Structure 1
């Protein structure tokens, strides 16, 4: 579910960036990617140059929704399952520099502005209201999972201390970026224990006294 959520956001953001970029910006829809920005300084650095990189940096359980019911009733039985885990995802969106571009930093800042502009205009995402995602036409993804994808995205502001710690832990040089908090991704296991409904109660105490 986490992968589907981030792919949905990537697909929609890719289309927006491509449609609204400046005429002299050569970025394509394939240059908006899901990747680990920590690899920016590794041997595969060239793969992350001149890109918009979406990286999952933290997950958090939504504590306000922990106490949901774990009992599901059907006409014939009752099923006991553990309630789903509702997650908040913290994603880092980085606009990396192109090594061969004279105005690489200016391009990166312009792309970051488009990212912020996109999420300012659209904060809620589902498969139905996201016409540019390939998830809707993917028959390998169940309809249930498609319907459960309901994401709310908000800008998450870091302090200077948190920024230093974040990029230090990623082990790379800081590039233009924005952090977003994505609510809520639901993860659940469908297995559970089914038991029959109790249709009649027998008072054994009364039966014993009668004898």
Structure 2
């Protein structure tokens, strides 16, 4: 389910950037920045790359309206933290800043996602809320060090209220609610 959420939002962001900059080629990808050996992924150049930073349980709603059937696990809500990084090599720093600004503009215009306004999200999606995630300078330094890449202009967002419910072995057993 997490993959479908990220891919759907990436597609919508890609369309937004293409329209703003009159581009034909893909401008947003979902990918890691480096491989397991620490080599930089060449597919990320001149694009916004989206990658997962963290998954957290939504604690505020843990006990609210969470019921389960006998023999199944109780439903949980999660939040996912995503990084949107702009890798533009060869001293093209201003272009990286432009693309990062477009990501911020996109989320200012689109802070709520549902199956009705975001193609690719499952039809049972109610709402996903997006908010900017503040990361301190110290944390960002550690993060990029752990990734094994040099810092590039980037911004992180939290996508809130992804609802998972145990409904057997179906691949589409997750729901998203607001």
TM bin (shorter chain): 0.7 to 0.9
Q: CA RMSD in A?
A: 2.3
Match of 1:64 among 60, 63, 86: 60
* CA shift in 2, pair 1:173/1:27, >3 Å: farther
**Following the alignment from structure 2 to structure 1, what is the Cα–Cα distance between the partners of residues 150 and 43?**
16
Note if 1:111 corresponds to 2:99. yes
**Following the alignment from structure 1 to structure 2, what is the Cα–Cα distance between the partners of residues 98 and 40?**
21
Deviation at 1:80, TM superposition (A): 5.2
Q: TM-score, normalised by structure 1?
A: 0.72
Residue 147 of structure 2 is matched in structure 1 by 170
Which structure has the highest helix share of the two? 1
Alignment length (residue pairs): 167
**Following the alignment from structure 2 to structure 1, what is the Cα–Cα distance between the partners of residues 117 and 19?**
18
Contact 2:75 2:166 (8 Å CA) reproduced: yes
**Following the alignment from structure 1 to structure 2, what is the Cα–Cα distance between the partners of residues 118 and 85?**
28
Answer with 1 or 2: which has the greater Rg: 1
Match of 1:91 among 82, 85, 97: 82
Residue 175 of structure 2 is matched in structure 1 by none
Partner SS state of residue 167, structure 2: coil
Note if 1:155 corresponds to 2:97. no
**Following the alignment from structure 1 to structure 2, what is the Cα–Cα distance between the partners of residues 61 and 149?**
18
Contact 2:34 2:41 (8 Å CA) reproduced: no
Q: TM-score, normalised by structure 2?
A: 0.84
Residue 73 of structure 2 is matched in structure 1 by 82
- Bigger relative contact order (CA 8 A; separation at least 6): 1
Contact 1:148 1:186 (8 Å CA) reproduced: no
Unpaired segments ≥5 residues, structure 2 = 170-178
Unpaired segments ≥5 residues, structure 1 = 72-78, 137-144, 193-211
